C-alpha cells in the first residue's frame, strides 16, 4: 500500500510526513510547478524507510535517470505525454493520467508501469490541480491504481471505498502554501488514509 505525500521541498516536511506514516514522498522536478525543487536540494533531504518519487513532465529517459541517480529516487512519476517507450529503464514508473471528460481507463490496462496514478482534471496545469474525480472510474482497473487529486482527511476514506486503490497521494489540500505542508492536516490525512487502506 502506498501512502504518498507529494510536493516535498524541505526536510521538516519530509520528516513530519514519515513520522505520520507516509510510505512515499514526492519531489516535483517540473520547472513550471510552484512546488519545483532542484535535484541537488532533493538529494539533501533525508528520507530513510520510504520510497522517493520524482515527478517529471515530458523529460527524456536519460534525463529522468540522471536526476534519479542524483536525488536517489526509487520511482519516476511521469505526468506528460510519455509512452512506454519513454519510460526510464533504471527505476519503477508510475504513469499519471488526468481523469476528465472522455477518459478511457482501458488504454492503460497493458501499461508496463508499476502503477497508474489517476489525478483530477487540471486544464493546462501539469502535476495536478487539487481537484477530485469520479473515484468509481478506478474500481474496474486490473492494474495498480494510486488515487490523487483533492485528497485530505475529509474525503480519503470515501475515495478508498469507491476506488479500491493500491495507494493514495495528497499534496495541495494538506498545505499552508505551495510547497509548505500543514503538519496537522498532513498527519490527519495520513491517519485517515492508513485506516481506510487497512495499512
Could you tell me where the DSSP H helices lie in the chain?
A: 11-19, 39-44, 61-71, 156-163, 183-197
Known catalytic residue: 74?
no
Query: Can you tell me the distance from the alpha carbon of 199 to that of 195, in angstroms, rounded to the nearest whole number?
Result: 6
Query: Can you tell me the distance from the alpha carbon of 99 to that of 35, in angstroms, rounded to the nearest whole number?
Result: 22
C-alpha distances in angstroms, 186 versus 22, 122, 140? Answer: 10, 22, 29
**Could you tell me the three cell numbers for 179?**
510547497
What separation, in Å, do the N-terminal and C-terminal C-alpha atoms of the chain show?
7
Nearest of 131, 132, 44, 55 to residue 94 by alpha carbon:
55
Known catalytic residue: 6?
yes
Q: 174-195 burial string, b = 16+ CB within 10 Å, else e? A: bbeeebebbbebbbbbbebbbe
Q: Which of 13, 119, 152, 169 is catalytic?
A: 119
In the block, cell 474496474 appears at: 140
Active site residues: 6, 119
Amino acid at each position: 500500500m502506498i501512502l504518498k505525500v507529494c510536493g516535498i521541498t524541505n526536510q521538516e516536511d519530509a520528516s513530519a510526513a514519515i513520522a505520520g506514516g507516509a510510505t512515499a514522498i514526492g519531489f516535483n522536478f517540473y520547472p513550471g510547478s510552484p512546488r519545483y525543487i532542484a535535484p541537488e536540494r532533493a538529494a539533501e533531504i533525508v528520507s530513510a524507510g520510504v520510497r522517493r518519487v520524482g515527478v517529471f513532465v515530458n523529460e527524456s529517459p536519460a534525463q529522468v535517470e540522471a536526476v534519479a541517480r542524483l536525488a536517489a529516487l526509487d520511482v519516476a512519476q511521469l505526468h506528460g505525454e510519455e509512452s512506454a517507450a519513454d519510460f526510464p529503464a533504471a527505476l519503477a514508473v508510475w504513469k499519471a493520467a488526468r481523469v476528465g471528460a472522455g477518459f478511457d481507463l482501458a488504454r492503460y490496462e497493458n501499461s508496463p508501469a508499476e502503477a497508474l496514478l489517476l489525478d483530477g482534471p487540471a486544464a493546462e496545469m501539469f502535476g495536478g490541480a487539487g481537484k477530485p474525480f469520479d473515484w468509481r472510474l478506478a474500481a474496474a482497473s486490473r492494474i495498480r491504481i494510486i488515487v490523487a487529486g483533492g485528497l485530505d482527511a475529509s474525503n480519503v476514506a470515501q475515495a478508498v471505498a469507491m476506488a479500491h486503490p493500491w495507494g493514495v497521494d495528497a499534496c495541495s489540500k494538506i498545505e499552508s502554501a505551495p510547497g509548505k505542508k500543514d503538519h496537522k492536516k498532513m498527519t490527519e490525512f495520513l491517519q485517515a488514509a492508513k485506516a481506510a487502506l487497512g495499512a
